[in-house]
Every structure is written in C-alpha cells, then in structure tokens.
Structure 1
Amino acid sequence: MKICLWVSMVLSVGLFTPAKAVDLRLLLTETKQSGGYQVGDAAAGFRLKGTDGSMVSLNDFNNAKGVIVIFTSNHCPFAKAYEDRIIALNNKFASQGYPVIAINPSDPATHQDDTFEKMKERAASKGYGYPYLADDAQQVAKAFGAGRTPQVYILQKNGAKFTVRYIGMIDDNPQDPAGVTKLYADEAVSNLLSGKPVVTTITKPVGCAIKWKN
C-alpha cells in the first residue's frame, strides 16, 4: 500500500514523463546489496580497468585532496540525466583537488549498453575528463555499499587514508537540472575545501538498482 501511494506521488509530480519514460521496476526493485561504507569510514583501495585501457587505482590519487567516486552506468535513464552534471563536477573540482572517478558496476549481461566497448564509446563521445572504470566483478560497488546508479561517495584524503564524508545523490532533482535547489555533492566538496564540516552527509540515492551477478 505504501509503495503504491509513493508511486502515485512520484507520477503526480512528473518525475516520469513520456519523453523520459522509466521502468518503475528500475527504481522500486530492492537490491541484494547491504552494508558497505558509512560516513567516517576509510575506503579500501581498488584497481579497475578504465576506458582508455589503463588500470586505475585509488592510490593514483594520493596527491589529491580527495575524490568524488560516482557509481554510474550507460543504460540507466537517471545516469544519463546526470551525465552532464557529473562532467560539470569534475570540471569545477578536479583542478581544486577533487577529481571525479566514475565506476560502472552494471552487469552487461543484463544491459548490453554497459559492455566495455559501449563504455568506451560513451566516454569518447562525451569527452569525459575523468576515468570511467568497469567494475566487472562488482567487488568495488559491494565494498562501498552502492545500490543504485548514480550514487556518489565523496572521499577526503586524510594522511594515507581516504575517508568517506558524503554518500548519496548528486543533487535533489534527477529530472531537471534547472529545478535543482540542493547541490549536495557540490556543497559537500566546497565545504571540505573551505575546511568546514559537511552539513548534509547522507541522502537517499534515486536511480536504477544495480543488478548483482549470481
């Protein structure tokens, strides 16, 4: 009953329009993943293959002030809606020490748009200025506790550790960039750069459920 009411509310505010139809199952399906990092935890290192063919690890960013890790995908309508905003985040903050690292944990057997070749095509066509990594084994997504695409984890470099400072949405309007009122990721990084605490540390991500391999 509660789910039906929630769906009615979502439809009434126009989140799903004919031009951007989304299978509600992508949003409502519960994922098997649980746990993962909490705010204040230190993230473990990882090493994944990027669309340029190189292997990229978290340790490659030891000279950065932090990183903006975003779990995303090619097929997801929400990820597509946020793509330009992800590019904008990197354009704004990479030069200030907080580059974006995009990771695709989606099973290409479920969505052919998420094959490595399609990832390469997408990165090239959009001119990503950040690494786009394939999490084939889905181990990094599981370690982080990611459940949806897109989902953001902002990590601050503290000594030898990358500490989680924010988890959740990029902003508060998946559908319309012009209607955004809360720039969660932007505000979190801006606060960290200013030496201030992150005010909003957790938000509930809205996006496509990650399909876990059996």
Structure 2
Amino acid sequence: MNTRIFRLIMILSILLLNQRNGWAQLAKGYNLGDAVADFQLKSVDDRSISLANYKAQKGLIVVFTSNHCPFAKVYEDRIVALDRKFSPQGYPVLAIMPNDPAAYEDDTFEQMKMRARDKAYPFSYAMDDTQVVARSFGVTRTPQVYVLNQRDGRFILEYVGAIDDNPQDPVNIQRRYVDEAVTSLLAGRPAQTPLTKPIGCAIKWK
C-alpha cells in the first residue's frame, strides 16, 4: 500500500470515527508530575497485573491501545520495538485495552488473547473492563502513551501523548517522542517534550 492511499484511509477513518463518536473532549486525568495510583487488571495470560508487578523497574511505558483501531495496528510493531529496547533498561511496556468490547468484537478479551499470541507480544496486555483506569489516566485515544518514572516507590507521570510524529510512514519519523522521553529519564533528565497530542481512535466508553 503506498503512502498516498494509506493517508486517505486514515483520513476517512478519522472522519467516520468522529461522526460516530463526536469530537473527543480532553478528559481530566493525571497531570505531569502526579503519582499514579495502583490498579489491578487482568492480562491475556490470566494474571492480575498491577504497578506492584513493576516495583523492581526504573519506570513503565503504559500504552492504551486496542485491536480494532487502524492507528493502533499501524503502531503495533513500534510498541513492540519500544519494549524490546527499553525493557532491558528498566522501562518495560504495559499495554492496556480500554474500550467497551461491545462496540467492536475485535476488542473482546478472547480476541486480545489471540492478538497477543499471534504477534508474540513481549509485554503484558491487559483489559480495563471497568474503564476505571482509563478514566483515571484521562485517556482519549488509542494509542496513547503515559511514561512513568519510579521515584521513592511511587510511579510519577513524566510524559503523555503520541508515540512519534508520523503514524502514516515509519520511515520518515522526525520525532520519536516516547523514545526521547525514556532516554532522557534514563540519563537523569526530564522529558524534552513531556506533552504531545495523541493521534488515534476515540475511546469507546460504556
């Protein structure tokens, strides 16, 4: 598929999603510098996942994503790459599916299990079936990323937004926002651009 056709598909997808769901308003949630409250979610390997599982890590890359969203599908390999690069350095990925599965069959827990297995996810993939976690973070899109830095036993929010600046063409990415943020934190510096606009599909709320 060439870039021109891909961009047209993306534009049409956005228009259809906006028509169906209305323009998403910025949700209230954690602010930069806030400590994130612990939570418990069920992962696709039937384990209970919480921030306590990551207490030995330097931080965490929380990615709200989904199975059905074309943007999430485009970014899937890049999310895997983030985990493979930064998990050994203490910043693993935790993927969370926040949508109401009744809206799209692709977002059911069974489909999540199949997707994680077929794509060999190296990270945990969990369902936020009550949507409490998504609301506490203030998620508006999939994919949307929250980079947490662990300090004194608390996970502090250091970055919110997009994975990079080019969902259409991974070859021509100019800014790799999440990569830059985690690299800065590993070097003991704050994220250079701590807040960016996520580009993706609107959350399907219950």
What code does the residue aligned with 1:141 have? A
User: Which residue number corresponds to residue 104 of structure 2?
Assistant: 111
Q: What SS class does the counterpart of residue 28 from structure 2 fall into?
A: coil
User: Which residue number corresponds to residue 86 of structure 1?
Assistant: 79
CA contact (8 A) 2:63 2:143 kept: yes
Report deviation, 1:19: 8.8
User: Size of the alignment, in residue pairs?
Assistant: 201
Pick one of 191, 194, 197 that aligns with 1:201.
Answer: 194
Pick one of 17, 20, 23 that aligns with 1:30.
Answer: 23
Distance 1:135 1:198 in 2: 27
Distance 1:156 1:34 in 2: 22
RMSD: 1.8
1:168 aligned to 2:161?
yes
Structure 2 alignment gaps of length 5 or more = none
User: Which residue number corresponds to residue 72 of structure 1?
Assistant: 65
Distance 1:19 1:110 in 2: 20
CA contact (8 A) 1:108 1:115 kept: yes
Structure 1 alignment gaps of length 5 or more = 1-12
CA contact (8 A) 1:51 1:116 kept: yes
Report deviation, 1:31: 3.2
Q: TM-score, normalised by structure 2?
A: 0.93
Q: What CA deviation, in whole Å up to 9, does each residue of 1:133-153 have, x standing for no partner? A: 000000000000001000000
Percent identity of equivalent pairs: 52
Change (3 A) 1:54 1:23: same
1:177 aligned to 2:170?
yes
User: Which residue number corresponds to residue 8 of structure 2?
Assistant: 17
Distance 2:10 2:199 in 1: 19
Distance 1:42 1:154 in 2: 12
CA contact (8 A) 1:191 1:197 kept: yes
Q: TM-score, normalised by structure 1?
A: 0.89
Report deviation, 1:59: 0.9
CA contact (8 A) 2:14 2:201 kept: no
Q: What CA deviation, in whole Å up to 9, does each residue of 1:102-146 have, x standing for no partner? A: 000011110100000000000000000100000000000000000
Q: What SS class does the counterpart of residue 22 from structure 1 fall into?
A: helix
1:155 aligned to 2:157?
no
